[in-house]
Structures are given as structure tokens and as C-alpha cells.
């Protein structure tokens, strides 16, 4: 029960935060928006490490992988935020949610032999992603159509997501999940700061956006902490399956709040991706 609750908290926290980024990224830009969100997450992760009494482990390889993990997290979120800002959300979010496919492809190349259900799940995700992409460029309704740049951002975020999963999976056995997350947060923050410095972007956030970004950062942090806590329960696979619905939460909010048009074919493709992702996450 607790594993499912934590998975639901992760899905809601991450899904709502991603939807909120559509507006904050439009107003502030993707790097600055995620930089602010990441700062809140870094403070939260540091507090978690201090209060939980986690014993930090020194491993050159583990730290290197954790740093790479943090950079890929930052890159993925910037691409995702930029894609969601352009929209439509119902195109970007499902494509990014298809990240288990490249993860499994890498694992297969490294010798993993998936079962029949995993192969079926991967086929379902691929079919759903192809439908989403094809519908995005052929949709008659301009509000439901995505341009080439949006699709490139979405697929870029998808592959960056796969990279952050693979590097995180490699680092966690060496230094632990909490330390991987903590190092990743700090390295991602440095990476974002370097981008903002290179762009010459002002890091001042208008006063009217400060409460909004704080809430967004809090929800994002809640989602990651809930996912991390769920991974330590007796049923971590339940947390992973439920948490994988974060993209569905984002799409539903776009449909309910901003009335984004979503056709029956798109709903079918989104359902395929969600079901396939849930199966891969659970196995």
C-alpha cells in the first residue's frame, strides 16, 4: 500500500510540476526555470542527506557516473520544459515518457534478454510514439499540431531521460541511491549555472513569478523524494509502475486546464505508451 501511495505522490508531483513548466518556461526561459526548480531540489536533497544520516561513500567511478547523471537530468528537463512551452503538451509528454525503449535497447545490447511481456511493451511504446509523432504533424487543428522543433525537443528529452536512467542505475550500486541523487543535483545545478553564465542570462526572477516557481520546485522535489522513498520499500516495482503515470497527469492537466484538443487517436496512442511504460517499469 505504501509503495503505491509513494508512486502516486511521485506521479502527481512530477506531472503537475511538468505542466506548470509550460507557463514558467514561456515567461522565464527553460534554463532559468529549471535552474530555480533545481536549486530548491538541491537544498531539499542536501537537507535529506544531513537529516537522514546517510554515510557518503567515495568512489571515483560512482561519483563520475553520478555527475553525468545530474547533467543528463538537467539536460532532459531543459529540453522537456522547452518542448512543453512550445506545445502541444499531449505530444511532448508522451514522447518523453517513451524513454524505457532506448533504456531497454541499451540493456539488450549489454546482454539482457527481455521476456515476451517486455518485448510487447516496447512494441506498444514504439507504435504509440510513432502515432503521436505522425498525428502531431498532420493534425488539422493548429492547436493540436507540433512543429519539427517541438518534436526534436521531445525526442531529445526522451533520449536524455534514457541516459539519466542508465547512469543513475550504474552509479547507485556503487555509492547508493541517495548519494547519487545528491551529487546529481549539485552537478546539474553547476551545469545550469554554466549555461546561464554562457548565455549572459540574468538570474533575477520577477517577483510575481517567485511563488509560482517555489511551488513548482517543491512539487518536483516531492516527486523525486517520493520515488526515492518508494525504491526502499518492500515493493519498489509498484512505486515505479505508478510513478510512470507522471506524463498522463501532465496530459490530463493540459486537457482539463488549458482545454488542449486531444483526438481519439491521440488518446489511444497515449494509452499505449502509458501501458507499455508501466509494464517496463514494473519488470
Q: Which three cell numbers stand for residue 233?
A: 520499500
Phi-psi region of 145 (alpha: psi -120 to 50; beta: other; left: phi over 0): beta
Q: How far is CA 228 from CA 67, 183, 221, 222, 248, in A?
A: 18, 14, 11, 10, 20
Whether a cis peptide bond, with omega within 30° of 0, leads into 88 is yes
HEC profile of 210-250: HHHHHHHHHHHHHHHHHHHHHCCCCCHHHHHHHHCCHHHHH
In tens, the pLDDT along 172-224 reads 889 888 888 899 999 999 999 999 999 887 788 899 999 999 999 999 888 88
pTM: 0.83
Q: Quote the pLDDT of residue 186.
A: 94
Average pLDDT, the chain: 84
Q: Which residue, among 283, 178, 270, 269, has the nearest Cα to 241 in the 3D structure?
A: 283
In tens, the pLDDT along 81-118 reads 999 998 788 888 888 888 877 887 887 788 777 778 87
Amino acid at each position: 500500500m505504501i509503495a503505491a501511495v509513494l508512486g502516486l505522490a511521485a506521479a502527481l508531483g512530477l506531472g503537475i510540476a511538468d505542466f506548470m513548466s509550460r507557463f514558467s518556461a514561456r515567461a522565464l526561459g527553460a534554463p532559468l526555470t529549471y535552474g530555480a526548480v533545481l536549486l530548491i531540489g538541491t537544498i531539499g536533497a542536501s537537507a535529506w542527506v544531513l537529516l537522514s544520516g546517510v554515510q557518503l561513500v567515495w568512489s571515483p567511478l560512482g561519483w563520475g557516473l553520478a555527475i553525468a547523471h545530474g547533467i543528463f537530468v538537467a539536460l532532459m528537463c531543459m529540453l522537456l520544459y522547452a518542448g512543453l512551452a512550445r506545445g502541444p503538451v499531449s505530444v511532448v509528454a508522451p514522447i518523453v515518457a517513451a524513454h524505457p525503449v532506448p533504456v531497454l535497447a541499451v540493456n539488450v545490447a549489454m546482454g539482457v534478454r527481455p521476456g515476451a511481456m517486455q518485448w510487447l511493451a516496447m512494441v506498444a511504446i514504439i507504435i504509440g510514439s510513432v502515432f503521436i509523432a505522425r498525428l502531431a504533424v498532420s493534425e488539422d487543428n493548429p492547436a493540436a499540431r507540433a512543429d519539427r522543433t517541438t518534436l526534436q525537443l521531445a525526442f531529445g528529452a526522451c533520449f536524455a531521460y534514457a541516459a539519466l536512467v542508465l547512469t543513475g542505475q550504474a552509479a547507485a550500486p556503487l555509492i547508493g541511491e541517495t548519494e547519487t541523487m545528491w551529487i546529481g543535483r549539485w552537478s546539474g545545478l553547476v551545469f545550469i549555472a554554466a549555461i546561464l553564465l554562457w548565455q549572459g542570462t540574468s538570474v533575477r526572477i520577477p517577483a510575481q513569478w517567485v511563488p509560482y516557481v517555489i511551488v513548482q520546485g517543491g512539487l518536483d522535489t516531492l516527486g523525486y523524494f517520493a520515488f526515492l522513498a518508494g525504491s526502499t520499500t518492500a515493493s519498489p516495482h509498484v512505486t515505479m509502475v505508478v510513478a510512470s503515470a507522471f506524463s498522463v497527469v501532465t496530459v490530463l492537466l493540459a486537457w482539463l486546464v488549458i482545454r488542449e484538443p486531444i483526438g481519439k487517436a491521440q488518446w489511444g496512442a497515449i494509452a499505449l505508451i502509458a501501458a507499455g511504460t508501466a509494464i517496463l517499469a514494473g519488470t
